[in-house]
Amino acid sequence: MSYRIEYTSEARQDLRDIYTYIAEKLMVPETAAGQVNRIMDVADGLTEMPFRFSLYEFEPWRSQGLRFVPVDNFILFYQLKKEAKTVYIVRIMYGGRDIRKQFEENLRL
């Protein structure tokens, strides 16, 4: 069974922010483009066997089916809707951040 990929507006903004930070603050646009492409390639790979990655360990997100996969220094969070055969890319965050705190302040599934 093949799933389709959809990005939430927050995940799209995360990609823009990642690109902008690396390209403009760190001044390496080639690296920025490469990083965003690697993240999107991993997301595209979720069309097959999206259940292979772990559920996020903290509640209430675990019981809502939030999964994650690391991509370099970033973590891609996603949710599956089996009945719709869709993988929703929910957020993409820098792994060095306090992810749980960010979720408590900003993530509603």
Domain boundaries, the chain: 4-106
CA atoms of 82 and 34, how far apart (whole Å): 31
CA atoms of 11 and 38, how far apart (whole Å): 14
Q: For 4-106, CATH number?
A: 3.30.2310.20
pLDDT for position 109: 66
Low-confidence ranges of the chain (pLDDT < 70): 108-109
| Per-residue model confidence as pLDDT tens digits over 17-38 | 999 999 999 999 999 999 999 9
CA atoms of 70 and 57, how far apart (whole Å): 14
